[in-house]
Amino acid sequence: MAKPITENEKGKEPQILIIDDEADFGDYVSEVAKSLKYTCVATVNATDFKAALNPNVQLVILDLIMPDVDGIEILRYLNQQNCKSKILLMSGFNKRVLEVASDLAKELKLTVVGHVQKPVRKAELEKILNTAMELAKETEIKKPIKAQSTVDITKELIQEGLDKDQFLVYYQPQVHIPTKRLVGLEVLVRWQHPIHGLIMPDSFISKAEALNMIDDLGWRVAEKSFKEMGAFISKNDNSPTMSVNVSPYTLLNLKFPDMLLELAKTNNIRPDKLMVEVTESGLFKDLSSALDILTRLRMKNIKLSIDDFGTGYASMQQLGRIPANELKIDQSFVRQIHEQESARVMVVKIIEMAHALDMKALAEGVETEEQLEYLHVNQCDIAQGYLYSRPIPYNALMDWVKTTNPELLA
Ligand code: G
Ligand code: G
Ligand code: MN
Protein backbone atom coordinates (compact mmCIF):
# COMPACT_ATOMS: atom_id res chain seq x y z
CA MET A 1 0.00 0.00 0.00
CA ALA A 2 1.34 3.44 -0.91
CA LYS A 3 2.15 5.74 1.93
CA PRO A 4 -0.14 8.74 2.24
CA ILE A 5 1.47 11.94 0.97
CA THR A 6 0.91 13.58 4.34
CA GLU A 7 3.80 11.52 5.67
CA ASN A 8 5.96 13.87 3.68
CA GLU A 9 7.34 16.94 5.37
CA LYS A 10 5.87 19.24 2.80
CA GLY A 11 3.73 21.89 4.46
CA LYS A 12 4.77 20.85 7.94
CA GLU A 13 6.65 23.33 10.07
CA PRO A 14 9.99 21.93 11.14
CA GLN A 15 10.31 20.97 14.81
CA ILE A 16 14.06 21.46 14.57
CA LEU A 17 15.87 24.31 12.82
CA ILE A 18 19.62 24.23 12.31
CA ILE A 19 22.01 27.02 11.42
CA ASP A 20 25.55 25.99 10.58
CA ASP A 21 27.73 27.43 7.84
CA GLU A 22 29.20 23.97 7.25
CA ALA A 23 26.49 22.56 5.00
CA ASP A 24 27.82 19.02 5.37
CA PHE A 25 27.55 19.10 9.11
CA GLY A 26 24.07 20.67 9.04
CA ASP A 27 22.94 17.94 6.64
CA TYR A 28 24.42 15.25 8.85
CA VAL A 29 22.56 16.54 11.93
CA SER A 30 19.42 16.91 9.85
CA GLU A 31 19.63 13.30 8.59
CA VAL A 32 20.08 11.99 12.12
CA ALA A 33 17.12 14.09 13.34
CA LYS A 34 14.95 12.76 10.53
CA SER A 35 15.93 9.18 11.31
CA LEU A 36 14.52 9.86 14.77
CA LYS A 37 11.25 11.03 13.12
CA TYR A 38 11.67 14.72 13.81
CA THR A 39 10.97 17.24 11.08
CA CYS A 40 14.08 19.29 10.49
CA VAL A 41 15.46 22.02 8.27
CA ALA A 42 19.15 22.96 8.00
CA THR A 43 20.18 26.47 6.97
CA VAL A 44 23.69 27.79 6.21
CA ASN A 45 23.30 31.55 6.72
CA ALA A 46 21.43 34.09 8.83
CA THR A 47 19.01 35.16 6.09
CA ASP A 48 17.73 31.65 5.45
CA PHE A 49 17.64 30.94 9.15
CA LYS A 50 15.51 34.01 9.92
CA ALA A 51 13.16 33.16 7.06
CA ALA A 52 12.68 29.63 8.37
CA LEU A 53 12.20 30.57 12.02
CA ASN A 54 8.61 30.35 13.19
CA PRO A 55 6.81 29.76 16.48
CA ASN A 56 6.39 26.03 15.86
CA VAL A 57 10.13 25.41 15.94
CA GLN A 58 10.75 23.55 19.20
CA LEU A 59 14.50 23.33 18.97
CA VAL A 60 17.09 25.62 17.40
CA ILE A 61 20.49 24.05 16.82
CA LEU A 62 23.03 26.81 16.61
CA ASP A 63 26.64 26.76 15.50
CA LEU A 64 28.48 29.37 17.55
CA ILE A 65 31.30 30.06 15.14
CA MET A 66 30.32 31.06 11.62
CA PRO A 67 32.02 33.44 9.21
CA ASP A 68 29.24 35.82 8.16
CA VAL A 69 27.30 36.02 11.41
CA ASP A 70 28.33 34.69 14.79
CA GLY A 71 26.20 32.61 17.09
CA ILE A 72 26.01 35.40 19.65
CA GLU A 73 24.26 37.65 17.12
CA ILE A 74 21.77 34.90 16.46
CA LEU A 75 21.15 34.56 20.21
CA ARG A 76 20.44 38.30 20.38
CA TYR A 77 18.11 37.99 17.41
CA LEU A 78 16.22 35.15 19.08
CA ASN A 79 15.86 37.27 22.20
CA GLN A 80 14.50 40.22 20.18
CA GLN A 81 12.02 37.86 18.52
CA ASN A 82 10.95 36.69 21.96
CA CYS A 83 11.79 33.20 20.79
CA LYS A 84 10.32 30.36 22.87
CA SER A 85 12.21 27.57 21.10
CA LYS A 86 14.77 25.65 23.12
CA ILE A 87 18.39 25.92 22.04
CA LEU A 88 21.13 23.41 21.45
CA LEU A 89 24.57 25.00 21.08
CA MET A 90 27.26 23.57 18.83
CA SER A 91 30.89 24.39 18.59
CA GLY A 92 34.14 22.83 17.56
CA PHE A 93 35.90 24.91 20.17
CA ASN A 94 36.55 24.15 23.76
CA LYS A 95 33.90 23.67 26.38
CA ARG A 96 34.46 27.09 27.90
CA VAL A 97 33.08 28.81 24.77
CA LEU A 98 29.94 26.71 25.06
CA GLU A 99 29.59 27.55 28.75
CA VAL A 100 29.99 31.28 28.28
CA ALA A 101 27.53 31.31 25.37
CA SER A 102 25.15 29.28 27.48
CA ASP A 103 25.29 31.88 30.27
CA LEU A 104 24.72 34.68 27.82
CA ALA A 105 21.70 32.86 26.40
CA LYS A 106 20.26 32.62 29.90
CA GLU A 107 20.70 36.35 30.41
CA LEU A 108 18.80 36.81 27.17
CA LYS A 109 15.96 34.70 28.61
CA LEU A 110 16.61 31.84 26.21
CA THR A 111 16.64 28.22 27.33
CA VAL A 112 19.67 26.17 26.39
CA VAL A 113 18.91 22.46 26.63
CA GLY A 114 22.30 21.09 25.66
CA HIS A 115 25.62 21.29 23.90
CA VAL A 116 27.12 19.48 20.95
CA GLN A 117 30.86 19.45 20.63
CA LYS A 118 31.98 18.78 17.08
CA PRO A 119 32.77 16.25 15.81
CA VAL A 120 30.05 14.05 17.21
CA ARG A 121 29.28 10.42 16.47
CA LYS A 122 25.85 9.35 15.32
CA ALA A 123 24.95 7.42 18.48
CA GLU A 124 25.84 10.33 20.71
CA LEU A 125 24.08 12.84 18.50
CA GLU A 126 20.93 10.72 18.61
CA LYS A 127 21.05 10.72 22.38
CA ILE A 128 21.58 14.48 22.54
CA LEU A 129 18.75 15.19 20.10
CA ASN A 130 16.31 12.95 21.92
CA THR A 131 17.14 14.48 25.29
CA ALA A 132 16.91 18.01 23.90
CA MET A 133 13.51 17.29 22.35
CA GLU A 134 12.29 15.71 25.59
CA LEU A 135 13.33 18.85 27.46
CA ALA A 136 11.74 21.07 24.80
CA LYS A 137 8.45 19.23 25.25
CA GLU A 138 8.67 19.05 29.01
CA THR A 139 9.20 22.77 29.49
CA GLU A 140 6.39 23.37 27.02
CA ILE A 141 3.95 21.42 29.15
CA LYS A 142 5.18 22.89 32.41
CA LYS A 143 5.01 26.45 31.20
CA PRO A 144 1.37 27.22 32.00
CA ILE A 145 1.84 25.90 35.54
CA LYS A 146 5.10 27.66 36.16
CA ALA A 147 4.08 30.89 34.43
CA GLN A 148 4.26 33.86 36.71
CA SER A 149 0.89 35.27 37.53
CA THR A 150 -0.14 38.20 35.42
CA VAL A 151 -2.15 39.67 38.28
CA ASP A 152 -1.61 43.37 38.68
CA ILE A 153 -0.31 43.59 42.24
CA THR A 154 -1.48 46.82 43.83
CA LYS A 155 -1.22 48.25 47.32
CA GLU A 156 -4.93 47.59 47.82
CA LEU A 157 -4.58 43.96 46.78
CA ILE A 158 -1.71 43.38 49.23
CA GLN A 159 -3.60 45.17 52.00
CA GLU A 160 -6.63 43.01 51.31
CA GLY A 161 -4.38 39.93 51.42
CA LEU A 162 -3.15 41.00 54.86
CA ASP A 163 -6.63 41.87 56.12
CA LYS A 164 -8.11 38.60 54.91
CA ASP A 165 -5.12 36.55 56.05
CA GLN A 166 -4.26 35.21 52.59
CA PHE A 167 -0.51 34.92 53.18
CA LEU A 168 0.68 31.46 54.15
CA VAL A 169 4.04 30.31 55.41
CA TYR A 170 5.78 27.24 54.05
CA TYR A 171 8.94 25.66 55.43
CA GLN A 172 11.88 24.04 53.67
CA PRO A 173 14.23 21.71 55.62
CA GLN A 174 17.97 22.34 55.86
CA VAL A 175 19.97 19.20 56.54
CA HIS A 176 23.42 18.78 58.10
CA ILE A 177 25.26 16.88 55.38
CA PRO A 178 27.54 14.56 57.41
CA THR A 179 24.91 13.52 59.98
CA LYS A 180 21.72 13.92 57.87
CA ARG A 181 20.11 15.70 60.82
CA LEU A 182 17.57 18.49 60.36
CA VAL A 183 19.36 21.62 61.54
CA GLY A 184 17.28 24.40 60.04
CA LEU A 185 14.05 25.49 58.39
CA GLU A 186 13.63 28.32 55.91
CA VAL A 187 10.34 30.18 56.03
CA LEU A 188 8.98 30.97 52.55
CA VAL A 189 5.84 32.99 52.04
CA ARG A 190 3.00 32.07 49.64
CA TRP A 191 -0.07 34.08 48.74
CA GLN A 192 -3.24 32.01 48.56
CA HIS A 193 -5.54 34.28 46.60
CA PRO A 194 -9.20 33.22 46.20
CA ILE A 195 -9.26 34.14 42.49
CA HIS A 196 -5.66 34.13 41.31
CA GLY A 197 -4.65 30.94 43.15
CA LEU A 198 -1.30 30.36 44.80
CA ILE A 199 0.98 33.30 43.99
CA MET A 200 4.71 32.80 44.46
CA PRO A 201 6.93 35.36 46.19
CA ASP A 202 8.87 36.20 43.02
CA SER A 203 5.64 37.78 41.76
CA PHE A 204 4.95 39.99 44.73
CA ILE A 205 7.96 40.60 47.01
CA SER A 206 9.58 43.24 44.82
CA LYS A 207 6.16 44.87 44.29
CA ALA A 208 5.60 44.93 48.04
CA GLU A 209 9.02 46.57 48.42
CA ALA A 210 8.26 49.19 45.79
CA LEU A 211 4.84 49.90 47.36
CA ASN A 212 6.34 50.27 50.82
CA MET A 213 4.35 47.27 52.08
CA ILE A 214 7.26 44.92 52.71
CA ASP A 215 7.61 45.73 56.43
CA ASP A 216 3.96 44.78 57.05
CA LEU A 217 4.19 41.69 54.92
CA GLY A 218 7.49 40.57 56.46
CA TRP A 219 6.06 41.14 59.91
CA ARG A 220 3.05 38.98 59.14
CA VAL A 221 5.35 36.19 57.94
CA ALA A 222 7.38 36.43 61.14
CA GLU A 223 4.27 36.43 63.37
CA LYS A 224 2.77 33.40 61.66
CA SER A 225 5.94 31.32 61.55
CA PHE A 226 6.97 32.17 65.12
CA LYS A 227 3.56 31.21 66.41
CA GLU A 228 3.32 28.02 64.38
CA MET A 229 6.90 26.76 64.73
CA GLY A 230 8.02 28.34 68.02
CA ALA A 231 7.41 25.31 70.20
CA PHE A 232 9.18 22.94 67.78
CA ILE A 233 12.35 25.01 67.37
CA SER A 234 12.64 25.80 71.07
CA LYS A 235 12.26 22.25 72.34
CA ASN A 236 15.92 21.65 73.14
CA ASP A 237 19.50 22.30 72.11
CA ASN A 238 19.23 19.94 69.17
CA SER A 239 16.16 21.63 67.70
CA PRO A 240 16.61 23.22 64.26
CA THR A 241 16.98 26.95 63.73
CA MET A 242 14.39 28.87 61.72
CA SER A 243 15.44 31.33 59.01
CA VAL A 244 13.29 34.21 57.84
CA ASN A 245 14.04 36.23 54.70
CA VAL A 246 14.33 39.90 55.52
CA SER A 247 14.09 42.56 52.84
CA PRO A 248 16.97 45.06 52.64
CA TYR A 249 14.34 47.78 53.12
CA THR A 250 13.33 46.35 56.47
CA LEU A 251 16.99 46.30 57.48
CA LEU A 252 16.95 50.08 57.44
CA ASN A 253 14.40 50.14 60.27
CA LEU A 254 16.33 50.79 63.48
CA LYS A 255 13.55 49.31 65.61
CA PHE A 256 13.64 46.00 63.77
CA PRO A 257 16.05 44.10 66.10
CA ASP A 258 14.08 45.01 69.23
CA MET A 259 10.76 44.21 67.60
CA LEU A 260 11.99 40.84 66.43
CA LEU A 261 13.38 39.95 69.85
CA GLU A 262 10.09 40.98 71.45
CA LEU A 263 8.15 38.78 69.05
CA ALA A 264 10.49 35.89 69.86
CA LYS A 265 9.88 36.36 73.58
CA THR A 266 6.12 36.45 73.13
CA ASN A 267 6.37 33.07 71.43
CA ASN A 268 8.90 31.60 73.89
CA ILE A 269 11.53 31.25 71.19
CA ARG A 270 15.21 31.22 72.10
CA PRO A 271 16.86 33.97 70.02
CA ASP A 272 19.71 31.64 69.04
CA LYS A 273 17.16 29.46 67.23
CA LEU A 274 16.30 32.36 64.92
CA MET A 275 18.24 33.28 61.81
CA VAL A 276 17.77 36.35 59.63
CA GLU A 277 18.50 35.87 55.91
CA VAL A 278 19.59 38.86 53.88
CA THR A 279 20.61 38.62 50.23
CA GLU A 280 24.16 39.48 49.34
CA SER A 281 23.00 42.14 46.88
CA GLY A 282 20.55 43.64 49.40
CA LEU A 283 23.19 43.85 52.06
CA PHE A 284 25.57 46.02 50.14
CA LYS A 285 23.05 48.58 48.95
CA ASP A 286 23.64 50.48 52.16
CA LEU A 287 26.25 48.55 54.05
CA SER A 288 26.83 50.92 56.93
CA SER A 289 23.13 51.10 57.91
CA ALA A 290 22.73 47.37 57.42
CA LEU A 291 25.82 46.70 59.56
CA ASP A 292 24.31 48.68 62.39
CA ILE A 293 21.14 46.56 62.43
CA LEU A 294 22.97 43.29 61.83
CA THR A 295 25.35 43.91 64.70
CA ARG A 296 22.42 44.61 67.01
CA LEU A 297 20.75 41.40 65.93
CA ARG A 298 23.91 39.44 66.67
CA MET A 299 24.22 41.12 70.05
CA LYS A 300 20.75 39.82 70.83
CA ASN A 301 21.95 36.32 69.85
CA ILE A 302 19.86 36.18 66.69
CA LYS A 303 21.79 34.48 63.88
CA LEU A 304 22.53 35.87 60.48
CA SER A 305 22.76 34.27 57.04
CA ILE A 306 23.84 35.77 53.71
CA ASP A 307 21.47 34.54 51.00
CA ASP A 308 22.11 33.98 47.27
CA PHE A 309 25.82 34.28 47.87
CA GLY A 310 27.97 34.55 44.76
CA THR A 311 25.48 36.61 42.76
CA GLY A 312 26.28 39.98 44.36
CA TYR A 313 29.48 41.92 44.52
CA ALA A 314 30.75 41.53 48.06
CA SER A 315 34.47 41.97 48.38
CA MET A 316 36.49 39.85 50.79
CA GLN A 317 37.04 42.92 52.91
CA GLN A 318 33.33 43.75 53.17
CA LEU A 319 32.44 40.17 53.84
CA GLY A 320 34.90 40.06 56.72
CA ARG A 321 33.01 42.92 58.39
CA ILE A 322 29.62 41.21 58.32
CA PRO A 323 28.91 39.33 61.53
CA ALA A 324 27.22 36.45 59.69
CA ASN A 325 26.94 32.83 60.85
CA GLU A 326 26.18 31.29 57.47
CA LEU A 327 26.80 31.75 53.75
CA LYS A 328 24.15 30.34 51.40
CA ILE A 329 25.66 29.26 48.10
CA ASP A 330 23.31 30.41 45.36
CA GLN A 331 21.39 27.65 43.59
CA SER A 332 22.70 28.68 40.18
CA PHE A 333 26.12 27.28 41.14
CA VAL A 334 24.76 24.16 42.78
CA ARG A 335 22.62 23.33 39.74
CA GLN A 336 25.70 23.49 37.48
CA ILE A 337 28.03 21.41 39.64
CA HIS A 338 28.10 18.61 37.11
CA GLU A 339 28.06 20.81 34.02
CA GLN A 340 30.40 23.71 34.61
CA GLU A 341 33.93 23.78 35.85
CA SER A 342 33.40 27.45 36.80
CA ALA A 343 30.41 26.54 39.00
CA ARG A 344 32.45 23.88 40.79
CA VAL A 345 35.20 26.42 41.43
CA MET A 346 32.69 28.88 42.89
CA VAL A 347 31.15 26.25 45.14
CA VAL A 348 34.48 25.12 46.54
CA LYS A 349 35.77 28.68 46.99
CA ILE A 350 32.59 29.84 48.75
CA ILE A 351 32.83 26.89 51.15
CA GLU A 352 36.48 27.74 51.88
CA MET A 353 35.66 31.40 52.34
CA ALA A 354 32.80 30.63 54.72
CA HIS A 355 35.02 28.43 56.85
CA ALA A 356 37.88 30.92 56.83
CA LEU A 357 35.45 33.52 58.18
CA ASP A 358 34.10 31.07 60.76
CA MET A 359 30.74 30.69 59.05
CA LYS A 360 28.79 27.60 57.99
CA ALA A 361 28.35 26.95 54.28
CA LEU A 362 24.84 26.03 53.11
CA ALA A 363 24.11 24.90 49.56
CA GLU A 364 20.72 25.89 48.13
CA GLY A 365 18.78 24.09 45.44
CA VAL A 366 20.30 20.64 45.97
CA GLU A 367 18.31 18.27 43.78
CA THR A 368 20.47 15.20 43.19
CA GLU A 369 22.57 12.70 45.14
CA GLU A 370 25.49 13.54 42.86
CA GLN A 371 25.36 17.22 43.84
CA LEU A 372 25.12 16.23 47.49
CA GLU A 373 28.12 13.93 47.17
CA TYR A 374 30.20 16.70 45.62
CA LEU A 375 29.19 19.07 48.43
CA HIS A 376 29.95 16.43 51.06
CA VAL A 377 33.41 15.71 49.69
CA ASN A 378 34.14 19.43 49.64
CA GLN A 379 33.02 19.87 53.27
CA CYS A 380 29.90 21.90 52.73
CA ASP A 381 28.03 21.86 56.07
CA ILE A 382 24.35 22.08 55.21
CA ALA A 383 22.13 21.35 52.20
CA GLN A 384 18.66 22.57 51.27
CA GLY A 385 16.68 21.57 48.21
CA TYR A 386 14.15 19.35 46.51
CA LEU A 387 16.36 16.32 47.22
CA TYR A 388 15.07 16.52 50.79
CA SER A 389 11.83 18.39 50.37
CA ARG A 390 10.13 21.27 48.62
CA PRO A 391 8.87 24.08 50.82
CA ILE A 392 5.80 22.61 52.57
CA PRO A 393 3.18 23.73 55.11
CA TYR A 394 3.48 23.05 58.86
CA ASN A 395 1.58 19.75 58.97
CA ALA A 396 3.44 18.26 56.03
CA LEU A 397 6.72 19.36 57.59
CA MET A 398 5.84 17.63 60.85
CA ASP A 399 5.09 14.41 58.93
CA TRP A 400 8.44 14.77 57.18
CA VAL A 401 10.20 15.18 60.54
CA LYS A 402 8.38 12.15 61.91
CA THR A 403 9.85 9.89 59.23
CA THR A 404 13.31 11.46 58.91
CA ASN A 405 14.21 12.89 62.34
CA PRO A 406 11.73 11.43 64.87
CA GLU A 407 14.04 12.20 67.83
CA LEU A 408 13.34 15.91 67.30
CA LEU A 409 9.70 15.35 68.26
CA ALA A 410 10.39 13.30 71.39
O1 G B 1 10.02 29.36 46.81
P2 G B 1 10.43 30.58 46.59
O3 G B 1 9.65 30.86 45.32
O4 G B 1 9.62 30.56 47.81
O5 G B 1 10.98 32.03 46.99
C6 G B 1 11.39 32.93 46.02
C7 G B 1 12.15 34.08 46.61
O8 G B 1 11.29 34.89 47.41
C9 G B 1 13.28 33.63 47.49
O10 G B 1 14.47 34.07 46.89
C11 G B 1 13.07 34.30 48.82
O12 G B 1 14.23 34.98 49.21
C13 G B 1 11.93 35.28 48.59
N14 G B 1 11.04 35.20 49.74
C15 G B 1 10.30 34.15 50.12
N16 G B 1 9.62 34.41 51.26
C17 G B 1 9.98 35.67 51.63
C18 G B 1 9.63 36.53 52.72
O19 G B 1 8.87 36.17 53.61
N20 G B 1 10.19 37.77 52.73
C21 G B 1 11.04 38.20 51.77
N22 G B 1 11.54 39.44 51.87
N23 G B 1 11.40 37.42 50.73
C24 G B 1 10.87 36.18 50.65
O1 G C 1 15.48 32.84 49.53
P2 G C 1 15.96 31.94 48.48
O3 G C 1 16.40 32.51 47.20
O4 G C 1 17.05 31.08 49.05
O5 G C 1 14.70 30.99 48.26
C6 G C 1 14.80 29.70 47.88
C7 G C 1 14.05 29.54 46.58
O8 G C 1 14.52 28.39 45.92
C9 G C 1 12.58 29.32 46.74
O10 G C 1 12.00 29.85 45.58
C11 G C 1 12.46 27.80 46.74
O12 G C 1 11.18 27.35 46.41
C13 G C 1 13.48 27.46 45.70
N14 G C 1 14.07 26.14 45.84
C15 G C 1 14.39 25.52 46.99
N16 G C 1 14.97 24.32 46.76
C17 G C 1 15.02 24.19 45.41
C18 G C 1 15.53 23.15 44.56
O19 G C 1 16.04 22.13 44.97
N20 G C 1 15.41 23.38 43.23
C21 G C 1 14.87 24.51 42.72
N22 G C 1 14.79 24.63 41.40
N23 G C 1 14.39 25.50 43.50
C24 G C 1 14.47 25.34 44.83
MN1 MN D 1 16.35 32.69 51.33
251 lines ligand 1 (CB under 6 A): no
* Neighbouring residues of 11: CB distance < 8 A, sequence distance ≥ 6: none
pLDDT tens digits, residue range 182-232? 999 999 999 999 988 999 999 999 999 999 999 999 999 999 999 999 999
CB 39 within 8 A of CB 13: yes
pLDDT tens digits, residue range 293-336? 999 999 999 999 999 998 877 777 788 888 999 999 999 999 99
114 lines ligand 2 (CB under 6 A): no
Q: What is the pLDDT of residue 250?
A: 92
d(Cα 157, Cα 231) in Å, to the nearest integer? 32
| pTM for the whole structure | 0.71
201 lines ligand 1 (CB under 6 A): yes
Query: How does DSSP assign 321-373, residue by residue?
Result: HS--SEEEEPHHHHHTTTT-HHHHHHHHHHHHHHHHTT-EEEE-S--SHHHHH
pLDDT tens digits, residue range 150-160? 788 999 999 99
Q: Which of 233, 236, 291, 226 is nearest to 262 (CA)?
A: 226
Q: Which residues of 327-344 are buried (b: 16+ CB within 10 A; e: fewer)?
A: bbbbbbbbbbbeebeebb
pLDDT tens digits, residue range 256-302? 999 999 999 999 999 999 999 999 888 877 788 888 899 999 999 99
CA of 280 to the centre of ligand 1 (A): 14
246 lines ligand 2 (CB under 6 A): no
d(Cα 39, Cα 161) in Å, to the nearest integer? 49
Specify the ligand 2 atom closest to the Cα of 387.
19
Q: What is the pLDDT of residue 295?
A: 92
Helix (H) or strand (E) run with residue 279 in it: strand 274-279
